[in-house]
Amino acid sequence: MSALSSDPKIGSNLELRNPWDSLFVFIDESGNFDFTSRGTKHFVMAGVMATSPIESASKLNALKYQLMAEGVDISDFHASEDRQAVRDRVFPIIDSLNNIRAHVIFGEKNLLATSFQSPSGIYGLFGKAIIKYALSSFSAELFSQVVIVFDQALSKKNQGAFMAAVKPELKANKKPFRIYFHQMKTDANGQIADYICWAKYVELERNEPRPWVAIASSLKPTEFDIIQSGYKPYY
């Protein structure tokens, strides 16, 4: 686990901050870092935003315990690995959540400028866009700090390059921020981000719209093609 923070007093004997005055953002990605014709065609990043993440986490955890009581051996939810019968139970839970907002950034990798064709480059481009959307989606009066949890997809070296790209966006918000890199499976809200991201990814990559449709009726995630079509393909 690694963390980066704008709070210079971190580690001192301050009173614990009430977590519910924080905006939490959980971010996952789908697609690989292979920028050749052998790699995935698309890259997708999804952000789940919540000021009370315990509510959404409790509903997904309730499903986990229900499945375990029914004899399903499951420790966490992971869309690409879960059986279809499990996914069929998860998607309605996600679609019913009314305390979160979700935003998805996507694009075709072969249209990406060469300067972004690296793990830190594409992560910085997409991550900055997700953060900008998250900060604009909630009234600033609702939170005093931002807690961002990214998937643990980048190496330590790439995390440093990535931070250089996203820090200006966060500093412009003029509120304290904390950034962590965790495996999404360790948190129920991260698992929700995983499912939303995977749903958009299979719609784009496999022309399979059913998972995305399953979460679009009530949750209504917003989406944005960050690499607009019409650009010259680089490969």
CA-CA distance, 69 to 71, in Å (whole number)? 5
List CB contacts of 47: < 8 A, sequence separation 6 or more: 25, 26, 27, 102, 103, 104, 105, 130, 131, 133, 134, 193
What burial class does residue 39 get, using C-beta atoms within 10 Å of its C-beta: 0-12 exposed, 13-18 middle, 19+ buried?
Answer: middle
CA torsion 194-10-121-48 (nearest 10°) is 20
For 67-90, what is each residue's pLDDT tens digit?
Answer: 999 999 999 999 999 999 999 999
Q: How far is CA 86 from CA 11, 27, 71, 117, in A?
A: 41, 22, 12, 35
- Domains for the chain: give ranges and CATH numbers: 36-227 (3.30.420.10)
**Tens-digit pLDDT profile for residues 11-36:** 333 344 456 689 999 999 999 999 99
Asked if 227 and 115 count as a contact pair (C-beta separation under 8 A), the reply is no
Instruction: List pLDDT tens digits, range 121-180.
Output: 999 999 999 999 999 988 888 888 999 999 999 998 899 888 888 888 888 888 899 999
How long is the chain?
235
Which band of pLDDT confidence, cut at 50, 70 and 90, is reported for residue 229? low
Identify whether the C-beta of residue 202 lies closer than 8 Å to the C-beta of residue 84. no
Count of other CB atoms within 10 angstroms of residue 193: 29
